[in-house]
Amino acid sequence: ETGVTQTPRHLVMGMTNKKSLKCEQHLGHNAMYWYKQSAKKPLELMFVYNFKEQTENNSVPSRFSPECPNSSHLFLHLHTLQPEDSALYLCASSLTSGEGEQYFGPGTRLTVT
């Protein structure tokens, strides 16, 4: 595997379900990010981790819970989501937070029913 990978690529979940999104980067980077991409809106930065420490939480509702066990893996745990949470969730990584460009994964298309 190369670059940034995300699983699953597609996810349909009910509002009472609990699911997790997984991101893995194979670039030796130390910063990882979660973004939400909704139609016709700018990408919304959700969380930033730098050397496994969370450095940004952009007022994201608590029904989204990130986890970064090491610099290569990032999870987004989901519970009691709302239909408006349906979107493409993108993971990215960079050398460190604030240094260099971000490399993106292919995203997880989430549909909340």
Partner 1 sequence: AQSVTQLDSQVPVFEEAPVELRCNYSSSVSVYLFWYVQYPNQGLQLLLKYLSGSTLVKGINGFEAEFNKSQTSFHLRKPSVHISDTAEYFCAVSEAEDGNQFYFGTGTSLTVIP
Binding site for partner 1 (CB under 8 A): 4, 6, 33, 40-43, 45, 48, 50, 55-56, 90, 92, 97-99, 101-107
State the Cα–Cα distance between residues 36 and 15, nearest whole angstrom: 18
- With respect to partner 1, which residue has the nearer C-beta, 58 or 113? 58
- With respect to partner 1, which residue has the nearer C-beta, 13 or 45? 45
State the Cα–Cα distance between residues 11 and 2, nearest whole angstrom: 23
State the Cα–Cα distance between residues 46 and 5, nearest whole angstrom: 18
Least distance CB 16 / partner 1 (angstroms): 28
